[in-house]
Amino acid sequence: MKKIALITSGGDSPGMNACIRAVVKTCLHYSIVPFGIYDGFQGMIDRKGYEMEYTDVDNIIHRGGTILGTARCKEFMELEGRLKAIDYLKSENIDGLVVIGGDGSFTGAYHLGQEMNIPIIGIPGTIDNDIYGTDHTIGYDTALNTVTEAVDKIRDTAASHHRIFFIEVMGRDAGFIALNSAISSGAENVLIPEKHMDIEKLVRDIKAQNKGRRGSIIMVAEGDEWGGALELMEKVKPFLPDYDLRCSVLGHIQRGGSPSALDRIIATRMGSFAIELLKEGKTNLMIGTEGEHLVTCSIEQGIKENSIPDLKKIKLLAKLRTK
């Protein structure tokens, strides 16, 4: 291994910079040239790489976003686009590639792995936590903390005005952020794509909870079956004429900000481990966490198997709900 390329791809997530730093510093430790490519797979097609130095990654461990930039690249879904990227990697004499991103990025990495003989290691970076083979993806913990802080603030208004708040969080088709932030923020109910929720039951729960005019918080995953928080609120409104309902969509604030300690630690360990794996001659692997340990599975398994949140947590919320 003389030269290793690195991209961040898909939605940015807090901790990506900590991961870039670890990849670059571990490469330099072994006298390998780290080759950062801007804007993910699009940057590979557009030939936007540069040799990175220690100074490129100074003072970035605490910064959100990604200094390499990122993109969602349609051209890469076609063989023609991928062939342009392979041509670029070959022209730069790249011996290994590290891809930090979510499931879309891993799908790209998987195809690339079938079409070229440059070893690839995937590192899961997405706030959604929806990737098989890892307990945590980089950015998920920070997003959970951001949501929890935001809901704490909304709760002040909910309690003061005795309002019912429907709060929509990100996660695409997965309910990890909604379910776990529901627990961390003491929400009264949660709607996630992985579990059907009966509207009549939800209305009954809200009425029971609000007998003492308390106000309540309902967390709604953006991918839930009713189409998100606003749609859900409109759906239940006719059944709750005497209640003051509000909706709040948290949006992209969930993706930004300084990474939590946990995200920095996971990102740093994964970034450095990726270089060790490439040095050992490993390829087409995705790194994950299992408890305290770093583990690997094939990138193919990572994209083909489903990852779903622990649905027992919904029962926990029900147990804690005021009757």
Q: How far is the CB of 126 from ligand F6P (least distance, A)?
A: 5
Least distance in angstroms from the C-beta of 171 to ligand F6P: 5
**Which CB, 164 or 169, lies closer to ligand F6P?**
169
Q: For the CA atoms of 291, 294, 297, 301, what is the dihedral angle to 10 degrees? A: 50
Of the pair 12, 205, the CB lying nearest ligand F6P is at 12
Q: Which is nearer to ligand F6P, 6 or 138 (CB)?
A: 138
Q: Tell me the closest approach of the beta carbon of residue 251 to ligand F6P, in angstroms.
A: 9
In the 3-class helix/strand/coil scheme, how is the chain assigned residue by residue?
CCEEEEEECCCCCCCHHHHHHHHHHHHHHCCCEEEEECCHHHHHHCCCEEECCHHHHCCCCCCCCCCCCCCCCCHHHCHHHHHHHHHHHHHCCCCEEEEEECHHHHHHHHHHHHHCCCCEEEEEECCCCCCCCCCCCECHHHHHHHHHHHHHHHHHHHHHHCEEEEEEECCCCCCHHHHHHHHHCCCCEEECCCCCCCHHHHHHHHHHHCCCCCCEEEEEECCCCCCCHHHHHHHHHHHCCCCEEEEEECHHHHHCCCCCHHHHHHHHHHHHHHHHHHHCCCCCEEEEEECCEEEEEEHHHHHHCCCCCCCHHHHHHHHHCCC
Binding residues for ligand F6P, rule: CB under 6 A, are 11, 102, 126-128, 170-172, 222, 255
Between residues 134 and 216, which has the closer beta carbon with respect to ligand F6P?
134
Q: Which is nearer to ligand F6P, 102 or 122 (CB)?
A: 102
Q: Per the residue annotation, which of 95, 128, 130, 224 is the catalytic one?
A: 128
Give helix 103-115 / helix 79-91 axis angle, nearest 10°.
70
Is there a contact between 144 and 180 (Cβ–Cβ < 8 Å)? yes
Nearer to ligand F6P, 71 or 287 (CB): 71
Q: Please report how close the Cβ of residue 143 comes to ligand F6P at its closest, in angstroms.
A: 8
For the question of residue 56 being annotated catalytic, the response is no
How near is the Cβ of 103 to ligand F6P at its closest, in Å?
Answer: 9
CB atoms near residue 313 (< 10 Å)? 16
Nearest approach in angstroms of CB 33 to ligand F6P is 31
Q: Catalytic site residues? A: 128
